[in-house]
Amino acid sequence: MTTSETRTERSPESNDAESLDTTTRRRGLLGRVPGFADPTARFVYGWAIAQLVVNVGIVVTGGAVRLTGSGLGCPTWPQCTDGSFVPHQALGMHGAIEFGNRMLTWVLVVVAIGTWLAVFRRRGSTPGDRWLATLIALGIPFQAVIGGISVLTDLNPWVVSLHFVLSMALVSAATVLVFRTSPYEREKSTNVVAARLGSALSWLIYVLTWATIYVGTIVTGSGPHAGDADAPRNGLDPSAMTQLHADFVFVLVGLALAGAVTARVLRMPQTRAALIYVGLLALQGVIGGIQYAKDLPMVLVIAHMLGSALLMIGATWLVLWFGSDQRAGRDQQDSTRREVSDAPVN
């Protein structure tokens, strides 16, 4: 064996060693953290689900702060009181509740950072996944600032409404990330016309879900649960706003039933998801009706806020699933056209 042959045989081993060394350097400290060295699809998916759960959770805890009248338990922001980031004994239970909710924001931050790192380190992540993870991570401190502004404006109902709407936006965005990172195959519809119809209905449902939720925040701004005894109200008639909210719900129910029936009749794979959304909407309507009749008890109001978040997840999921079918159908049509145009003419 010649010297050149020996050098040639050792070259692959040398390349492998260099590649391993480069990989080790790239992983750095995170390479020692379980799962982050080389994130799998399931690992990233788990972080995406965790991010969705904590964003829904902060909606519920934020509602608890308002319903217990603790919205100004820490009367300033970013500190709790002038000169202190933590509440003192004089603030009592309200200060502890508001401070605790602020501390939960750090849980969101930790999960958002973990999700961001998992998405960026996974080799199969798309640029869209990375952008989405980044926007969600940046949305959390932005949401905290809006929350701070609501405190500094003595819980102005319009700012509080914006605070809730941004929470719903984060829930919707987190749902998109869960959908995109899911390692499980979803059944697709082969009927192009059905996919287009389903996509159109799902977008209408999504838009009406947003409109209904926003009108619901206006109802809240006119009602008794201001978050503090001295917080201002928006000055609108609660009964009139409640009726307007109910009108939006009726339209949304009609669209949701149309979507479910369409999916069922056309035997689309989204049938179960559409029926689940209808079920959630029905449950949300029952809770809303009971809470109105019982003068807004705390437990039912919190359940209603949780229902809003679940409806946002469902509406977002329907848009994504029907939309993916429409794109798949369009790609299939384009492929068929190319095959026909490329076919030899006899």
Q: Is the pLDDT of residue 167 over 70?
A: yes
Q: Is the pLDDT of residue 344 over 90?
A: no
User: What pLDDT is attached to residue 286?
Assistant: 93
Mean pLDDT of the 216-242 span: 85
pTM value is: 0.85
Residue predicted with more confidence, 30 or 48:
48
pLDDT digits (tens, 9 = 90+) for 268-301: 999 999 999 999 999 999 999 898 888 888 889 8
Question: How far, in whole angstroms, is CA 222 from its chain's centroid?
Answer: 27
Percent of the chain clearing pLDDT 70 (strictly above): 85
Q: List all residues 6 or more positions away from 239 whose beta carbon is below 8 Å from its beta carbon.
A: none
User: What pLDDT is attached to residue 27?
Assistant: 58
Sketch the domain layout of the chain as residue ranges: 34-184, 188-337
User: What pLDDT is attached to residue 128?
Assistant: 94
Residue predicted with more confidence, 223 or 146:
146
Task: Tell me the C-alpha distance between 223 and 238, whole Å.
Answer: 6
User: What pLDDT is attached to residue 91?
Assistant: 80
Half-sphere exposure for 59 (CA within 13 Å, toward CB): 29
Segment of 29-38, 51-60, 224-233, 292-301 carrying the highest mean pLDDT: 51-60
Q: Is the pLDDT of residue 346 over 80?
A: no
pLDDT digits (tens, 9 = 90+) for 3-44: 444 434 445 544 544 444 445 445 567 767 778 888 999 999
